[in-house]
Amino acid sequence: MQNKVDSIKMYYEANMGKGLPDYSLLGWENEKAQVLRFEVMASNVSLQGKKILDVGCGLGNFVEYLNKNAIQAEYIGVDILQSMVIQAIKKNLNARFIHCDVFKDNPFKTGEFDVVYSSGIFNLNLDNNMEFLEKAMQTFIRLSDNVIAFNLLRNSSTDQEDKYFYYDLEEVRELIRKAFSGEFETVKYIDGYLQNDFTVICSKKGL
pLDDT tens-place string over residues 143-162: 999 999 999 999 998 888 88
Q: Which residues pair with 54 in a beta bridge?
A: 77, 117
Please state the rounded mean pLDDT for residues 80-102: 93
Please state the rounded mean pLDDT for residues 100-120: 95
| Greater pLDDT, 7 or 160 | 160
Q: Which residues pair with 34 in a beta bridge?
A: none
Give the confidence band of 189 by pLDDT, cuts at 50, 70, 90. Answer: very high
| Greater pLDDT, 35 or 1 | 35
Contact, 140 vs 129, CB < 8 A?
Answer: no
pLDDT, residue 30, reads 66
Please state the rounded mean pLDDT for residues 80-92: 91
| Greater pLDDT, 18 or 102 | 102
Average pLDDT in the chain: 89
75 phi/psi in degrees, rounded to 5: -105, 130
Does 24 have pLDDT greater than 60?
no
- Our count of domains for the chain comes to 1
Give the confidence band of 32 by pLDDT, cuts at 50, 70, 90. Answer: confident
Please state the rounded mean pLDDT for residues 167-172: 97
Q: Which residues pair with 26 in a beta bridge?
A: none
CATH number at residue 62: 3.40.50.150
Range of the domain at 19: 2-203
| Residue 121: partners with Cβ closer than 8 Å, 6 or more residues away | 8, 55, 56, 136, 150
pLDDT, residue 26, reads 60
For residues 9-42, b (16+ Cβ closer than 10 Å) or e, as one string? beebeeeeeeeeebbebbbbeeeeebbebbebbb
Least confident of 51-55, 70-74, 150-154, 203-207: 203-207
pLDDT, residue 207, reads 67
Contact, 188 vs 168, CB < 8 A?
Answer: no
Q: What is the pTM (predicted TM-score) of this model? A: 0.90
CA distance 62 to 84: 14
Give the confidence band of 49 by pLDDT, cuts at 50, 70, 90. Answer: very high
pLDDT, residue 183, reads 94
45 phi/psi in degrees, rounded to 5: -130, 135
Please state the rounded mean pLDDT for residues 105-124: 95
